[in-house]
Amino acid sequence: MSAHFDLVVVGAGPAGIAAAIAAARAGRSVALVDDNPAPGGQIWRHGAHLPAAARKWLVELQASSVVPFYGWRVIDHPAARLIRAESGADCTDLQYDRLILATGARERFLPFPGWTLPNVLGAGGLDAMVRGGLPIAGKRVVVAGTGPLLFAVAGHLAARGAKILAICEQAQLGHLASFARCLLSDPAKLFQGAGYMLAARGARLHTGCWPVAAAGTTQLESVTLCQGSRKWTVACDYLACGFHLAPNTELAQLLGCRTAYGFVVTDDLQRTSVTDVFCAGEPTGIGGVELALIEGQIAGLAAAGKLRDAQSLVPRRQRKLGFVAALRESCTLNPSLRNLADEDTIVCRCEDVRHAALRGRASWRDAKLHTRCGMGPCQGRICGVATEFLFAWHADSVRPPVLPAMVSSLASPGPTRNQPASLSAETAISAHSKETP
């Protein structure tokens, strides 16, 4: 199975939605692909209780000519102007003239003793589970890590009846203050931030504070926190812990897009280094929803050939870049966090690789080859982000599939070709069995 579109957009978060709508309005045929069953990305996908602005975008998307591929994960780029997507046991190829990557970001986790216990979750992860129906009323929750996501999550969980025992932000108060000043210059952000603070009322905010251990027999029972030389233990049901976000750049890298400092490089019109491939939203720099929406619109318009309209939005984008820088600065990790893990702390969860096995390794590749770190199903998506901070390693090349995929999907889309390609001597690719392996 294969279909052609003027434009294929990967990722139906705010950036991808804005891009798809802008291009569809300009008369292009557009496919919007996302691995979740509904559009919205990390922040809007859970439907209920959405702000009016978000609902407006989703309604407009619904009314547009954009062809949805929800529940489809993009796994490969098998040929020029082609991406391959998988959904359950189905596989399809999408041909494009232009491609927009709006693949968003994921949470960054840092290993500390006990972080792999049940009920120690990512901040966004716990939030998503609660939106998905996990009962949280009356539960005792510690929220820890860094970044504005902590406040958003604490506010939301509090609104659902959780007892937020503490919000622990690793950054020092000074860092947060400069971030707050930046928020003041951005009324929309301020409103959002203040709302969360109100909702999280009653929770203690600790700055320069982080978890040093989580404990429990079969699941989490308590968290030990530290702030300077002070250490104390809090009994709790959940620890929601995330250290800001890491961009999803794997697909961009597979396509050959240039990256710098871990982010996809684009010009003013969101064009990457690869012809006809655009990128918008978090992969170009962690900047939040509003920036994602602007970048998405620029990318959608530019990809649809509406260069002047796209250009007219560039100043709006420019104004938001201060926020990106302030965010980056306020979320800079305290070097002491490198010492959280002890010898036995698991760093790579897929392959059970402990911190002691990684110490003294020369590089990510060295660690990978000799300890299996990053070799499991997540291919270093989680531990690679952690070891970049812990050891200053940089992950190696991205190989297909971008996300785990069926073996058959790597060969061909659509119905199975269940015959040997080469049991006949006519085929171009012959068998060589005797020269194993």
Ligand X SMILES: Cc1cc2nc3c(=O)[nH]c(=O)nc-3n(C[C@H](O)[C@H](O)[C@H](O)COP(=O)(O)OP(=O)(O)OC[C@H]3O[C@@H](n4cnc5c(N)ncnc54)[C@H](O)[C@@H]3O)c2cc1C
399 binds other proteins (CB under 8 A): yes
Q: Per CB under 6 A, does 144 bind ligand X?
A: no
The nearer residue to other proteins, 134 or 406, going by C-beta atoms, is 406
Selection from ligand X, other proteins, none that 292 binds (CB < 5 to 8 A by kind) is: ligand X
Question: Which listed option, ligand X, other proteins, none, makes contact with residue 332 (CB within 5 to 8 Å by class)?
Answer: none
Do 121 and 240 touch, CB atoms closer than 8 A? Answer: yes
Per-residue binding letters, 80-99, with other proteins (x by CB under 8 A): ---------x----------
Report the residue from 3, 36, 71, 78 that binds other proteins according to the rule CB under 8 A.
Answer: 78
Closer residue to other proteins (CB): 66 or 91: 91
Q: Which residues on neighbouring strands pair with residue 279, listed in sequence order?
A: 101
Interface positions, 243-302, toward ligand X (CB under 6 A): 245, 248, 251, 281-282, 288-289, 292
> What is the Cα–Cα distance from 405 to 226, expressed in whole angstroms?
41
Cα separation, 99 vs 30, whole angstroms: 10
Q: CA–CA separation, 143 vs 236, rounded Å?
A: 11
Stretch that binds other proteins, among 13-21, 65-73, 314-322, 428-436 (CB under 8 A): 428-436
User: Is the Cβ of residue 216 or residue 376 nearer to other proteins in the bound state?
Assistant: 376
CB 301 to other proteins: min, Å: 32
> Token pair of 179, please?
């971030």
Q: Which of residues 365-424 bind ligand X (CB under 6 A)?
A: 402-403
CB 365 within 8 A of CB 375: no
Q: Which helix (H) or strand (E) holds 57?
A: helix 52-63
Which phi-psi region, left, alpha or beta, contains residue 290 (left: φ > 0; alpha: ψ -120 to 50)? alpha
| Contacting range for other proteins; rule: CB under 8 A; set: 22-30, 100-108, 313-321, 425-433 | 425-433
What is the C-alpha separation between 30 and 28, in angstroms, rounded? 6
Cβ neighbours of residue 251 closer than 8 Å, sequence gap 6 or more: 10, 74, 77, 101, 103, 402
| Strand spans (E) along 135-273 | 140-146, 163-169, 204-207, 209-215, 222-227, 230-235, 238-243, 245-247, 259-260, 263-264
- The residue whose two tokens read 């604490």 is 154
CB neighbourhood size of 80 (10 A):
7
- Closest by CA to 7, choosing from 34, 33, 35, 28, is 28
Report the partner that residue 433 touches, choosing among other proteins, ligand X, none (CB closer than 5 to 8 A by kind): other proteins
> Residue from 132, 133, 420, 437 that binds ligand X (CB under 6 A)?
437
Stretch binding ligand X (CB under 6 A), from 10-18, 232-240, 345-353, 408-416: 10-18
14 near ligand X, rule: CB under 6 A? yes
- Work out whether 340 is an interface residue with ligand X (CB under 6 A): no
Contact status: 359 vs other proteins (CB under 8 A): no
51 preceded by a cis bond (ω within 30 of 0): no
Among residues 315, 377, 414, 415, which is the contact residue for other proteins, using CB under 8 A?
377
> What residues line the site for other proteins (CB under 8 A)?
76, 78-79, 89, 362-363, 365-366, 369-370, 375-377, 379, 399-401, 404-412, 416-425, 427-437
> What residues line the site for ligand X (CB under 6 A)?
10-16, 33-36, 41-43, 73-74, 102-107, 124, 127, 149, 152, 245, 248, 251, 281-282, 288-289, 292, 402-403, 437
